[in-house]
A and B are shown apart, each in its own frame.
Chain A
Amino acid sequence: MFETRSRKSQVILQIMVTIAVIPFLIPIYTMVVRSLQGRGWGNYVAVLQVPGFARFFLNSAIVAGGSIAIIYLATMMASFGFSKLRLKRKEVFFWMMMAALTLPEVVLIAPLYATAVKLHMMGTFWSVILPIAALQIPFTVLITRGYIDGIPDALFEAARLDGANSWRIFWSILMPLARPMAVAIIVLVLINAWNAYLLPKVFLINDNMGVVTLLPEYFRRQYNDDTPKILAAAVITAIPTIVAYVTLQKQFERGMAAGAIK
């Protein structure tokens, strides 16, 4: 985009970009250096030996996996219905769903907290998975419906002439053809569910149900502000996410870009 015809201008651009990147490295650098203060790598060993450390990752995986499964299936089914089947007042249903597109989750916590207490759902994974699903589905349906609208009706008609019913068409034609959407949906929900903080903080109050985003606070309580250990825990928690991003760079970027057309 920037034109760098001479060698000199190319070097200048390279230097400018390098300088511009420094502020991005400062928190990461600080985090790693301070996590090694005191006992060095011993901090990491101590953190990994805390009983129940793996539990946080398992719980995050449960929340993310549950959210992905519900959202993916509900989205595919709803998009199929909206796009290829007959339904009275279809657009009314669709716009009722779309009205929730830009809703911030924080407006849900007061009523959901009151409801969860009444229904004894505090401290269950459902109390986090269902709100995450509710907030994501309008958006995933919007992009998936758009995608499925682009698949020719004739394809479904041909299958019907061959005698396939709606279930058969859904599993054997729609699901394979809409697979490119699966990547975008899974990545989008994975990032949102794995990084969710407010909902788990409010609803997952039991100690053995903590998710990874609650780890820094857990260690603050455990170690009375032993900063190096808190930071060591943060580094360990951040690594899987960074590795996932670096290996699946394209998919991550596509998923996030999909999230922006709200």
Chain B
Amino acid sequence: MAISDKTIDAVGLSLAGRRGGRFAMTARTVPGGLKWILPGFIVSVGLIYYSIIYSGYLSFFDWGGGRSQMVPVGFDNYVQAFHDPVLWMALRNTIAYFVVVFVVQVVGAILFAAAMHSKIYLSNVYKVIIVIPVVVAPAIMAPAHIQVWQTNGTVNAILNGLGLHSLSQGWLGQSTTSLMVIILVSSWGSIGFGFILYYAAMGQIVPEVLEAARIDGAGNLRILFSVVLPMVRPVTISLAILNFISALKLFDNVWLITQGGPAHSSEFLGTMIYAETAGTQRNLGYAAALSMILLVVAVATAVTIQSRSKEKTRKPKLSKSTRELSNV
């Protein structure tokens, strides 16, 4: 039997009167929901929970993978991990990375978003330039970054050109600067992402609010950081969580630019786990133990940030973004 457009129209038009009534509610009582959610549930929940449980199991063994013997070692992998100076180095790098990239991203993205909302020529050209690093894979840009930062690369050429010969150095080969390069490269890629979110959020701000602040005598930067920033707070919180997760799982840029070196100075959890999973001297049990540690840190942090932000804003975090989507 055909479902005529007329039927849908008629119901659509009379919605206002019926909403929430007995008639509207009956649709929810149609049984058979399980088979509809099952495909997605098996692929995602099945695979992920299986992996986590299997990871927990593996973490109690020493195992070189493949046909080699699995040796039960109890909690040794965890004990080894917490006595491993490389793990502490990786955690320190993760925190440094998170703090710097987050601050650069928020400040850079807000300034660009505000500038693009102002009267400016060729704003779309600027926008594309900023967003290109977000859409092009880090793995593809990595060779270019190596050329920029290597000893006879672009950065040193610029420094020499400015007469700052003493500052030019082998950025990638020094344990004092390798982490900085990774952080700068990631900041370069993260500003565009923050920009897209702030740009959209700022479009929702009512101009009268800014006008009022201006009449009260606030300058451009004052308005930006005292009026606009608090209004786009949900975006900032999302960025904090996303940045923390990406700091924990960071792999592409590090592996392709410094390989975590020299002397583990730019090591991250992602590169450690990869080396133990697919490297030559692998121990899948140790990789699994590191994964479990990472998982605990990730979940604990995400929950903390989210619950603390809820205490302050008490707004349903998702509803607004979902509404924006529905205006597509």
**A123 interface residue, CB < 8 Å from B?**
no
- In the docked arrangement, what's the CA distance between A217 and B127, Å? 30
Q: Are A24 and B129 in contact (CB under 8 A)?
A: yes
Count of chain A residues near B, Cβ 8 A:
124
Q: Are A1 and B118 in contact (CB under 8 A)?
A: yes
Q: Are B139 and A108 in contact (CB under 8 A)?
A: no
Q: Give every chain A residue within 8 A of B246 (Cβ-Cβ).
A: 104
Q: Are B143 and A70 in contact (CB under 8 A)?
A: no
- In the docked arrangement, what's the CA distance between A58 and B64, Å? 33
**B12 interface residue, CB < 8 Å from A?**
yes
- As a 0/1 sequence over residues 249 to 262 of chain A, the CB contacts with chain B under 8 angstroms (1 = contact) are 10011101110111
* Sample (11) of A-B pairs whose CB atoms are under 8 Å apart: A29-B154, A30-B147, A104-B245, A108-B55, A109-B287, A110-B288, A111-B55, A130-B47, A134-B48, A135-B44, A159-B8
- In the docked arrangement, what's the CA distance between A27 and B155, Å? 10
> A117 with B51: in contact, given A154-B24, A256-B134 (CB under 8 Å)?
no
Shortest Cβ gap from B316 to chain A (Å)? 10
- As a 0/1 sequence over residues 180 to 212 of chain A, the CB contacts with chain B under 8 angstroms (1 = contact) are 110110000001001101100110000000001
Q: Are A78 and B36 in contact (CB under 8 A)?
A: yes
| A interface residues (Cβ-Cβ under 8 A, vs B) | 1-4, 10, 13-14, 16-18, 20-21, 23-31, 34, 70, 73-75, 77-78, 80-82, 84-88, 90, 93, 96-97, 100, 102-115, 117, 130-131, 133-135, 137-138, 141-143, 146-147, 150, 152-160, 162-164, 166, 168, 170, 172-173, 180-181, 183-184, 191, 194-195, 197-198, 201-202, 212-217, 227, 230-231, 234, 237-238, 241-242, 244-246, 249, 252-254, 256-258, 260-262
Q: Are B129 and A253 in contact (CB under 8 A)?
A: no
Q: Which of A31, A85, A173 has the most CB of B within 10 A?
A: A85
Q: Are B136 and A241 in contact (CB under 8 A)?
A: yes
Q: Are B12 and A152 in contact (CB under 8 A)?
A: yes
Q: Are B8 and A155 in contact (CB under 8 A)?
A: yes
Q: Are B147 and A31 in contact (CB under 8 A)?
A: yes
Contact of B128 among A107, A245, A256, A257 (CB under 8 A): A245
- In the docked arrangement, what's the CA distance between A159 and B8, Å? 8
> A110 with B277: in contact, given A23-B188, A253-B196 (CB under 8 Å)?
yes
Shortest Cβ gap from B172 to chain A (Å)? 14
Shortest Cβ gap from A207 to chain B (Å)? 16
Shortest Cβ gap from A133 to chain B (Å)? 5
Provide the main secondary structure of the chain B interface.
helix
Shortest Cβ gap from B323 to chain A (Å)? 8
Q: Which of A20, A80, A141, A181 has the most CB of B within 10 A?
A: A20
Contact of A158 among B8, B238, B317 (CB under 8 A): B8
Q: Are B30 and A166 in contact (CB under 8 A)?
A: yes
- In the docked arrangement, what's the CA distance between A114 and B10, Å? 57
- As a 0/1 sequence over residues 1 to 43 of chain B, the CB contacts with chain A under 8 angstroms (1 = contact) are 1111001101110010011000111111111111111011101
- In the docked arrangement, what's the CA distance between A15 and B121, Å? 11
Q: Are A107 and B119 in contact (CB under 8 A)?
A: no
Tell me which of B79-87, B108-116, B307-315 binds A: B108-116
